[in-house]
Amino acid sequence: MTHTFYKYQGTGNDFVMIDNRQSIFNKKNTKLVAHLCDRRFGIGADGLILLEDHDAYDFKMVYYNADGNESSMCGNGGRCITAFAKHVGIIQDIAVFEAIDGLHHAKIEGDLIHLQMQDVPHVERYSDHLFLNTGSPHHVQMEHQLNTLDVKSQGAKIRYGHPYNSSGSNVNFVNKISDDIFAVRTYERGVEDETLSCGTGVTAVALAMNYTGETTKDKVTLKTLGGDLKVSFEKFNDGYRNIWLIGPAQQVFKGTISC
């Protein structure tokens, strides 16, 4: 079967995007998803996203990790599918869509896609790290030697270690640059490697840095290997609300593949 696809990237976090409003894609075929995401034998991507019809909202987002399994929320993917929805004419500059973690609002302002994330009611603080769920689970820890860190090796140890074990967690290593700027490198479960950027990851970092007092700001810049993202938020009780992930999202190319 031949599939038409689009390749999108948001600060280097890249996705195979397929318009599945006609339900033509076999969603149970995890091997197919993994093949399409394979960087040597397929198209190559950190994940695959299906855009589907929704009865009440603009569209539905279905996200798969590069290993072929449907996954938790992807922030950069949410920004990319918003840009894709505009490209295919579903929306103009404002969207409401459903993802695996619930409803999301999004807006397009020039080259930037603003995606509202789910509220985070609490943050877990430990002696050497924090843990919080921003649509996906995230471990956050400070790392002063960020440039030379072996993120794949160190991230894998934490991702599979206690207490995460088989369910796993994404792992973020952070270095403070200033009160409102932080450098971030992320190991993503499902990709099982470092990615150039992670939307739910930088969201988790921004909230964690505010929670620990590393920043007093309510809008933070996160510098990833793939570019800069911004996260704005409101502190609410022991958690956060009105959380927005802001950054670029671009179509790289369109193609067809037989598989």
Catalytic residue among 37, 80, 198, 259: 198
Rg of the Cα atoms in the chain = 17
Give the whole-angstrom CA distance, residue 173 versus residue 194: 11
Pick from 23, 83, 68, 10: which is nearest to 50 by CA?
23
Active-site entry in 37, 74, 80, 259: 74
* DSSP secondary structure of 91-148: -SSEEEEEETTEEEEEEEETTEEEEEPPPB---EE-SS-EEEESSSEEEEEE-TTTTT
Closest residue by Cα to residue 12 from 230, 194, 196, 224: 196
Output b/e per residue, 193-213; b: 16+ Cβ within 10 A.
ebbbbbbbbbbbbbbbbbbee
Residue 229 parent element (H or E): strand 227-236
Instruction: Note if 74 is an active site residue.
Output: yes
Which residues form the catalytic set?
74, 198
